[in-house]
Amino acid sequence: MLRIAVLDDEAVYIDRIRRITEESMKKIGMEYEICVYERGQDVLKDLEEEKCFDIYLLDVQLPDIDGLETAKRIRRKFSKPIIIYITNYVSYAVEAYEVNTYRYIPKEMLEEKLPQAYLSMEPLLRKEKRHERYYVVEKYGRQEKIFYRDIYYLKKSGKYVVFVHKNGKSRVRKPIGELLEELGAEEFLMTDRSFIVNLDHVLSVKDHQVQVKNGEMIPVSKSKWPFVRDAFMNGGV
């Protein structure tokens, strides 16, 4: 399901965005959910709790923190969301594109330009959803689905491998090398014989360690160091 966040302090535009989104999603045949925010601070609060959306529709001028600063904070944590500005202030267009903005839509052109934006991004959205893979583990007698995008790293612990992810920790009784093969995704890289890291969550690489977005430092062996460093520098995150 497509997750869409709308940040605007004017009810009239929120209603219009909802209606246009509903009509557009019906045309392209995608399920979606919308979360509405009236303050930038509320978006940032959810970001700190690792709540992320596929699309952010942001106003620029807001009572508290403006949409430009909100977008910068989003980009510091997540590189993949699509950001669209919907605003009356076209003078901010150049600055908006500094955060890799997908569209900059004047509110007076909302009815025309927002449907066009949804239509143009359809192939990208479908590609992302096809790659929304997950791994299933048994936990307390039930199956738990762990999305790849939520996994920070995997750690060998005795006969088990522990998944460290946004919702906590889960473990499976398998060799770590076998798990790497089962995951079968280029974003997962073994840093030493006991750790696999998700490159999409790596913040920095230094002194034979990588820092992931939950703040932890993961060791990198001497033999793996060139591969990990190169993967990070070549756009692994």
Domain ranges of the chain: 2-130, 136-233
Q: How far apart are the first and last CA of the chain?
A: 23
Beta strands in 22-89 (DSSP E): 32-37, 55-58, 82-87
Are 209 and 218 within 8 A, CB to CB? Answer: yes
Average pLDDT over every residue of 76-98: 74
Task: Give, in words, the CATH class of 2-130.
Answer: alpha beta
Taking the CA atoms of the chain, what radius of gyration do you get in angstroms?
20
pLDDT score at 210: 93
Residue written as tokens 């569209």? 103
pLDDT score at 198: 93
CATH fit for domain 136-233, picks 3.40.50.2300, 2.40.50.1020, 2.60.40.420, 2.40.160.20: 2.40.50.1020
- Give the span between the Cα atoms of 135 and 62, in whole angstroms: 40
User: Which is more confidently placed, 209 or 98?
Assistant: 209
Those residues whose C-beta lies under 8 Å from the C-beta of residue 53, and which sit 6 or more positions away, are 3, 4, 5, 35, 81
**Reported pTM:** 0.57
The yes-or-no verdict on residue 55 having pLDDT over 50 is yes
- Residue 136: helix, strand or coil by DSSP? strand
Residues 99-145: pLDDT tens digits? 678 888 999 999 999 999 999 988 877 766 555 688 999 877 788 88
- Residue 235: helix, strand or coil by DSSP? coil
Residues 148-179: pLDDT tens digits? 888 999 999 999 999 999 989 999 999 999 99
DSSP class of residue 141 equals T
